[in-house]
């Protein structure tokens, strides 16, 4: 599949995890790769790829959908139109690396977060984790499963995507029975800083997905060895 990307890390042996990074509108995979590099030392057995949006946006930028004249009424339609390409991209890297959805994390900022969140809404078993930096849903989910764990990380001073969207997303997922966390970063606008990254790393490394507890309570026992490791 032809798309712009930057391979940040490729283990010499078969990867045990897959971390896919998605940038904001008008940005590019090279810039998002700088964020991805903060994760590499903590996941030495992970394939880490920064993926570019499907469409050109400006002289050096990319996007998944245009935000020109975007509104609450048409945002979902624009996302739905490009979603098959986004899902195909995730599947492509899973096939290339041999990593299953159980060991895949989608990590996005802004529009990249929107696409990651909406992809899990469309296909809940596409990946086991989503890290959404300063993102939102186009429309709030009415249903949810614990197949994927959603980590929302948002600056309280964000004026591009208001914090209220993250709060509403958390509340909707809790009502629907999903697995979600929300970290609010003080005095942070529409950006990722070291505190945001630390929140993400802490969740990826130490937060146990709710479905493991559900399986234990239902008599399913502990996760299988191939369900994965530190990421989960």
Write out the catalytic residue numbers.
Answer: 110, 158, 190
Structure tokens at 91: 């599947």
Report the distance separating Cα 191 and Cα 202, nearest Å.
19
Q: Which one, of 154, 71, 92, lies nearest residue 117 by Cα?
A: 154
Query: 17-22 and 46-51 as β-strands: parallel, antiparallel, unpaired?
Result: parallel
The whole-angstrom distance between residue 26's C-alpha and the CA centroid of its chain comes to: 18
Report the length, in residues, of the chain.
232
Tokens of 140: 């709030």
User: Phi/psi at 148 (nearest 5 deg)?
Assistant: -125, 150
CA angle 189, 194, 198 (to 5 degrees): 115
For residue 170, what are its two tokens?
């958390």
| DSSP labels, 63-93 | ESS--TT--TTTHHHHHHHHHHHHHHHHHHH
Structure tokens, 108: 């996005």
Show the tokens assigned to 206.
């130490």
């Amino acid at each position: 599949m032809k798309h712009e990307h930057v391979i940040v890390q490729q283990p010499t042996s078969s990867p045990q995890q897959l971390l896919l990074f998605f940038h904001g509108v008008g940005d590019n995979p090279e810039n998002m790769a700088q964020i991805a590099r903060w994760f590499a030392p903590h996941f030495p057995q992970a394939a880490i790829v920064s993926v570019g949006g499907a469409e050109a946006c400006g002289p050096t930028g990319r996007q998944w959908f245009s935000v020109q004249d975007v509104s609450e009424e048409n945002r979902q339609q624009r996302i739905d139109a490009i979603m098959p390409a986004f899902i195909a991209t995730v599947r492509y890297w899973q096939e290339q690396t041999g990593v299953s959805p159980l060991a895949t994390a989608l990590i996005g900022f802004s529009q990249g977060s929107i696409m990651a969140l909406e992809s899990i809404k469309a296909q809940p078993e596409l990946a086991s984790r989503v890290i959404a930096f300063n993102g939102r849903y186009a429309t709030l989910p009415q249903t949810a499963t614990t197949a994927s764990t959603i980590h929302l990380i948002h600056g309280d001073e964000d004026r591009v995507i208001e914090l209220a969207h993250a709060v509403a997303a958390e509340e909707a997922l809790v009502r629907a029975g999903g697995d979600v966390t929300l970290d609010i970063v003080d005095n942070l606008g529409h950006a990722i800083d070291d505190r945001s990254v630390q929140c993400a790393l802490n969740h990826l490394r130490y937060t146990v997905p709710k479905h493991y507890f559900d399986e234990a309570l239902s008599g399913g026992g502990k996760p299988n060895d191939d369900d994965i490791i530190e990421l989960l």
